[in-house]
Amino acid sequence: MSTVLYISAHPMQGEASYSTTVGNQFIQAYREANPNDEVIYLDLFQMDIPRIDAEVLTAWGKLGAGTAFDQLTASDQKKVSRLSGLVDQFVAADKYVFVNPVWNFSYPPVLKDYIDAICVAGKTFKYVAGVGPVGQLTDKKALHIQASGSVLSPGSAYADFEMSHRHLDTIMKFLGVPSFDAIFVEGMAAAADQAQAIKEKAVQEARTLALTF
């Protein structure tokens, strides 16, 4: 049995979101093909994801210097514990599905907070003398479902403007994830009359990919 983290970085749900619609269809097909797998839904807009601020950095510094966890302030303990829980959950999962819209050529800020929470030395990557950082998640699979009003996928005229998938792809490589697929739901604003067809094509792609993911 595998555990799948469905990581949603869209404030809207259901048919109000192209990326969420395609993501939901993917998960439905995946569950049909893998009824014994566990799917854990993470709604980043509704979750407590501590931002790495001065308080967190100071608390980590104290722990690294030998301060006992119970000697931290209650606020420090809460943030540090929550961040540890997020990365531990990520490491324990087998597969990841990231779902987001493109906002100003990147993803919503909650996804960056989540990425910062899961990129932890000693857990998702480690430093090797003479080599540098080495990803530890070499037995995982990931999928990125992304919607954008413009066409931003690799090979398009505006591909160099796109910072969302390219950054997430870099992060997955950094963490050692060997398989990272992508479904781009794009061009709805540029060709409004084709929006429904674009969505239906992406849904079919998602349902097909779900059978082998």
Contacts 24+ apart (CB under 8 A), 200-206: 202/18, 202/22, 202/145, 203/21, 203/22, 203/25, 206/22, 206/23, 206/25, 206/26, 206/29, 206/145
CB neighbour class for 110 (10 Å; exposed up to 12, middle 13-18, buried from 19):
buried
For residue 69, the Cα-to-chain-centroid distance in whole angstroms is 29
Query: Binding site: which residues?
Result: 17-19
Query: Binding site for FMN: which residues?
Result: 17-19
Residue 151: strand pairing partners:
none
Nearest by Cα to 83 from 117, 38, 112, 52: 117
Q: Residue 208 CB: number of other CB atoms within 10 A?
A: 12
Per-residue burial over 154-187, b = 16 or more CB atoms within 10 Å of its CB, e = otherwise? eeeeeeeebebbbebbebbeebbbeebebbbbbb
Identify whether the C-beta of residue 92 lies closer than 8 Å to the C-beta of residue 85. Answer: no
